[in-house]
């Protein structure tokens, strides 16, 4: 082929190359968009951990928290140490040691999965149960985090588009437990018990040892049969609830007189735990509707309304302000617009 013919042939190819390049770029962009690749919340773990957000978080919290934090109770640390807990539940284990001994003896492992422990950077997302996450279509984004924390008996099946289907940890207590955790959790999900009272530990003991159930002492009947994997049960160290109440919410641990006790919700507790364990913490589904209508739904599922929160043992306004402080400091980041 002559030099002139070769040159002409190459020039004819130029438009084709340009068109192919444009199509490839467009397709790549679409794929990235659909997988969340261009989403600002889903940059690589390294970039999130090394960015200004992480530095600002640690500088502003003053919680004396450590990335190497041990989250769960284990026998060798809590039954043979010199300094025993001075607090009773929900803020310590005083007077509950024997119940704990029997519960902890059932689980063979007290750690988080090794694949998470060994990560250079851990990304966490805490999924609240609020109505605000409904129709958010955040499901695929949520599934990309290293650790997905869910609360109580919040369902997953049927809501995957909004809340995803990955669950690393599920915080619960007897009254909020599902009788069949396998319906809305993965096989490897760790069921993290938050014990608010001795009766909570007694309930677990009766379940795992198949003893006669005692129904007294609960504000709502817990499941009498629990079909979960006993080896996946973990007991959260009450230290985290104590620190959430004292340092984050600044609520009295022991109210005086006839004042009703106010305890942190499992939601704000889960956020505090995530701040201790993860390098990057994002949240979704937090915030109650800004409505005076008592019939306003409060969850993305079910039929509970604002009316059900009227006699709550939680200070929701205080918790909302605490979350706002964490957001303003850069400690947490919301995945959706919120009030």
Locus of tokens 């309930």 = 203
Q: Across residues 78-95, what is the average pLDDT?
A: 80
By residue count, the chain amounts to 339
Locus of tokens 């929701």 = 316
Q: Across residues 320-326, what is the average pLDDT?
A: 95
Q: Across residues 136-140, what is the average pLDDT?
A: 97
Q: Tell me the pLDDT tens digit for each residue of 162-214.
A: 999 999 999 999 999 999 999 999 999 999 999 999 999 999 999 999 999 99
| pLDDT above 90 as % of the chain | 57
Q: Across residues 88-99, what is the average pLDDT?
A: 92
Separation between Cα atoms, residue 190 and residue 112, nearest integer Å = 8
> Which CATH architecture fits 40-334?
Alpha-Beta Complex (3.90)
Separation between Cα atoms, residue 241 and residue 273, nearest integer Å = 9
End-to-end CA distance of the chain: 70
pLDDT reported for residue 261: 80
Any idea where the domains of the chain sit in the sequence? 1-35, 40-334
Say yes or no to pLDDT of 83 above 70.
Answer: no
Query: 192: part of which helix (H) or strand (E)?
Result: strand 190-193
Q: Across residues 27-51, what is the average pLDDT?
A: 45
pTM: 0.84
- Reference 237, options 286, 272, 209; nearest CA is 272
**Alpha carbon of 295 to those of 159, 229, 298, 310, 339: distances in Å?**
22, 37, 9, 12, 19
pLDDT reported for residue 44: 45
Say yes or no to pLDDT of 40 above 50.
Answer: no
User: How confident is residue 316, by pLDDT bands cut at 50, 70 and 90?
Assistant: confident
User: How confident is residue 312, by pLDDT bands cut at 50, 70 and 90?
Assistant: low
């Amino acid at each position: 082929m002559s030099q002139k013919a070769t040159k002409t042939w190459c020039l004819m190819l130029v438009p084709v190359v340009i068109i192919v390049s444009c199509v490839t770029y467009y397709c790549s962009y679409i794929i990235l968009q659909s997988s969340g690749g261009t989403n600002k919340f889903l940059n690589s773990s390294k970039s999130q951990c090394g960015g200004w957000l992480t530095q600002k978080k640690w500088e502003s919290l003053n919680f004396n928290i450590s990335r190497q934090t041990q989250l769960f109770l284990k026998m060798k640390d809590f039954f043979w140490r010199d300094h025993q807990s001075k607090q009773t539940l929900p803020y310590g284990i005083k007077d509950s040691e024997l119940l704990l001994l029997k519960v902890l003896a059932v689980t063979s492992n007290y750690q988080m999965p090794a694949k998470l422990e060994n990560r250079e950077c851990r990304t966490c997302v805490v999924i609240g149960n609020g109505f605000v996450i409904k129709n958010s279509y955040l499901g695929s984004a949520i599934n990309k985090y290293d650790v997905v924390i869910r609360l109580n008996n919040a369902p997953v099946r049927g809501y995957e588009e909004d809340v995803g289907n990955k669950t690393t940890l599920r915080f619960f207590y007897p009254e909020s437990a599902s009788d069949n955790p396998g319906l809305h959790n993965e096989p490897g999900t760790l069921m993290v018990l938050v014990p608010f009272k001795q009766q909570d530990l007694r309930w677990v003991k009766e379940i795992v040892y198949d003893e006669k159930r005692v129904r007294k002492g609960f504000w709502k009947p817990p499941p009498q049969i629990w079909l979960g994997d006993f080896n996946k049960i973990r007991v959260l160290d009450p230290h985290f609830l104590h620190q959430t109440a004292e340092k984050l919410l600044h609520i009295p641990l022991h109210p005086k007189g006839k004042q009703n006790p106010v305890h942190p919700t499992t939601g704000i507790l889960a956020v505090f735990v995530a701040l201790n364990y993860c390098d990057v913490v994002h949240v979704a589904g937090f915030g109650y509707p800004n409505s005076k209508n008592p019939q306003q739904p409060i969850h993305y599922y079910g039929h509970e309304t604002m009316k059900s929160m009227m006699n709550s043992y939680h200070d929701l306004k205080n918790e909302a302000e605490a979350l706002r402080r964490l957001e303003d400091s850069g400690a947490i980041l919301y995945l959706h617009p919120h009030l």
